């Protein structure tokens, strides 16, 4: 089946995680992504982290999925001409260099829009394209600290902590994909032609965390990290360990579900306690609730906890390891772990699931320059010219170029 974005052409000048993830998310749904790498300096994600049996970095395999790979020195005069040809027929260009890099190379937004007035340009940077910190370098961890995420993660008497995955880069990739789609929608509706989507890495986290700012400004409440409990602790829950050593998380998001949870762990006496009549009242006595849940869970096995929670329709979920995630029946049934023919490496499949135009994993990350020759041919550059460009070091070719 044809993906919903099959006519969308994207040029990626991205590197590492944030920008490449935004294009990978769109490539899952049919977008034609051409990733440009320098002939002498490929994306570091090719080498970062563990390698698959074929020697290719597994992180690259998923960030480079479904993308054509063009090896091009786009900062050279001839390379700039090739970039122009690509841009003239593209819908989107994505980059995540420090502010000013494109401008110094002579391909800033003004120039790109001269070449193609309808081009959507996604610019991802540490702190944004303007403001007093525009030139300050930043990576994902800096953004996690700057956004307040690290401040809210960890125990109250311990240091701030980063989450166990690149949260800033991941959420930025997701927000970047959203920004592209919003700009494309505005273009389609005639509201705007090509526009620049300016996204700071810290901003995606700031928006998705959401509640700390209104909590402070509207209620004069400053959330603090709270260990195994939520920073705001507005509803019962937390992380607990059963008597047979299994970690699980318990949660309730409404007064009704909270009452079911309390009845499961403490019976009618706890559930009917007037201190817990509403979530607002319960939040004033959350330490009592937390201790009650902890006492119950730590004194029972996982099977006993699950049985009692099921009897009261209360919510508890085991903390799954990566091994358990990849073999879980529900995850497998949903088709969320996928691969392609001839590949041992599996990756997370396209999300969300769509009934008529589902996403598709077509291939995993390719070799440097894997599609250079075919892309240049499509631009009308003949083999003699390609050979000259290669000899001059302006493009890189891969002898094992894959057929599509």
Residues 6 or more apart whose CB falls under 8 angstroms from that of 262 comprise 236, 270, 271, 273, 276, 289, 292
Q: Are 280 and 232 in contact (CB under 8 A)?
A: no
Distances (CA, A) of 337 to 278, 328, 348, 383: 41, 10, 5, 40
- Helices within 28-104 (DSSP H only): 58-63, 77-88, 101-104
**Dist CA 208 CA 175 (whole Å):** 9
Q: What is the mean predicted confidence (pLDDT) over 31-57?
A: 94
> Domain coordinates of the chain in residue numbers?
9-209+333-396, 237-241+247-318
**Third-level CATH fold of 237-241+247-318:** formyl-coa transferase, domain 3 (3.30.1540)
pLDDT of residue 158: 94
Residues 6 or more apart whose Cβ sits within 8 Å of residue 299? 243
The alpha carbon of residue 100 and the mean position of all alpha carbons in its chain are separated, in whole angstroms, by: 25
Segment 45-54 mean pLDDT: 93
Provide the CA 86 distance to its chain's centre, in angstroms.
Answer: 26
The predicted-structure confidence for 114-132, as pLDDT tens digits, reads as follows 999 999 999 999 999 999 9
Q: Does domain 9-209+333-396 have CATH number 3.40.50.10540?
A: yes
Give the pLDDT mean for 232-236.
Answer: 76
Query: pLDDT-based confidence at 254, cuts 50/70/90?
Result: confident
pLDDT in tens, 146-184: 999 999 999 999 999 999 999 999 999 999 999 999 999
The mean pLDDT of the chain is 93
Residue 319 binned pLDDT confidence (cut-offs 50, 70, 90): very high
| Residue bearing tokens 């057929």 | 403
- Say if residues 285 and 276 touch (Cβ distance below 8 Å): yes
Handedness of CA 311, 316, 322, 326 (dihedral sign): positive
| 81: pLDDT strictly greater than 80 | yes
Q: What is the pLDDT of residue 252?
A: 86
Q: Tell whether the model's pLDDT for residue 227 goes beyond 90.
A: no
Residue 404 has pLDDT above 60, yes or no: no
Residue 399 has what pLDDT? 53
Query: DSSP characters for 228-247?
Result: TS-SS--SSEEEEE-TTS-E
Residue 95: which region, alpha, beta or left (left: phi > 0; alpha: psi -120 to 50)? Answer: beta
Q: How far apart are the C-alpha atoms of 216 and 221, rounded to whole Å?
A: 5
Q: Does the pLDDT at position 401 exceed 70? A: no
Give the DSSP H or E segment for 375: helix 372-378
Reply yes or no on whether the pLDDT at 279 is more than 90.
no
**Complete edge-to-edge strand list for the sheet that includes strand 315-318:** 237-241, 247-251, 315-318
pLDDT at 251: 87
3-state secondary structure of 139: coil
pLDDT, tens only, 335-377: 999 999 999 999 999 999 999 999 999 999 999 999 999 999 9
The DSSP code for 169 is H
Q: How far is residue 401 CA from its own chain's centroid?
A: 29
Among 44-48, 207-211, 228-232, 311-315, the range scoring the smallest mean pLDDT is 228-232
pLDDT of residue 79: 96
Q: How far apart are CA 272 and CA 268, in angstroms?
A: 6
**Average of per-residue pLDDT across 371-397:** 96
Backbone φ, ψ for residue 73 (5° rounding): -85, 90
The number of C-alpha atoms within 13 Å of 295 and in the hemisphere containing its C-beta is: 12
- The catalytic residues are 169
Decide if 234 contacts 282 (C-beta within 8 A).
Answer: no
Compute the chain's Rg from CA coordinates: 25
**Per-residue pLDDT at 402:** 43
């Amino acid at each position: 089946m044809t993906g919903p974005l099959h006519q969308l052409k994207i040029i990626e000048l991205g590197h590492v995680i944030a920008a490449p993830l935004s294009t990978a998310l769109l490539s899952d749904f049919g977008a034609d992504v051409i990733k440009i790498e320098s002939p002498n300096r490929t994306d570091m994600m090719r080498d970062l982290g563990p390698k698959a049996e074929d020697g290719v970095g597994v992180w690259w395999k998923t960030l480079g999925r479904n993308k054509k790979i063009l090896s091009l020195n786009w900062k050279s005069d001839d390379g700039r001409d090739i970039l122009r040809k690509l841009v003239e027929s593209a819908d989107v260009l994505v980059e995540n260099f420090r502010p000013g890099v494109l401008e110094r190379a002579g391909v800033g937004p003004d120039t790109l829009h001269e070449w193609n007035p309808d081009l959507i340009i996604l610019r991802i940077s540490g702190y944004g394209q303007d403001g007093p910190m525009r030139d300050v370098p930043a990576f994902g961890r800096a953004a996690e600290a700057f956004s307040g995420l690290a401040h809210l993660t960890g125990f109250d008497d311990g240091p701030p902590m980063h989450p166990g995955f690149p949260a800033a880069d991941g959420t930025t990739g997701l927000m970047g994909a959203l920004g592209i789609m919003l700009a494309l929608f505005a273009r389609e509706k005639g509201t705007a032609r090509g526009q620049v989507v300016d996204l700071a890495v810290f901003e995606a986290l700031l928006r998705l965390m959401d509640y700390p700012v209104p909590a402070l400004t509207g209620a004069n409440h400053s959330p603090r990290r709270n260990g195994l409990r939520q920073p705001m602790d507005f509803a019962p829950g937390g992380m607990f360990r059963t008597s047979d050593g299994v970690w699980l998380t318990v949660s309730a998001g409404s007064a009704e579900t909270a009452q079911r949870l309390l009845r499961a762990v403490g019976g009618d006496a706890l559930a009917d306690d007037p201190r817990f009549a509403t979530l607002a009242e319960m939040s004033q006595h959350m330490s009592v609730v937390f201790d009650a849940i902890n006492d119950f869970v730590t004194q029972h096995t996982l099977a006993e906890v699950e049985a009692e929670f099921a009897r009261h329709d209360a919510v508890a979920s085991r903390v799954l390891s990566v091994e358990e995630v990849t073999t879980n029946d529900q995850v497998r049934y949903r088709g969320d772990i996928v691969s392609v023919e001839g590949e041992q490496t599996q990756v997370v499949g396209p999300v969300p699931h769509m009934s008529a135009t589902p996403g598709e994993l077509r291939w995993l990350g390719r070799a440097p320059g894997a599609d250079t020759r075919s892309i240049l041919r499509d631009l009308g550059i003949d083999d003699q010219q390609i050979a000259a460009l290669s000899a001059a070091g302006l493009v890189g070719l891969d002898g094992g170029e894959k057929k599509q």
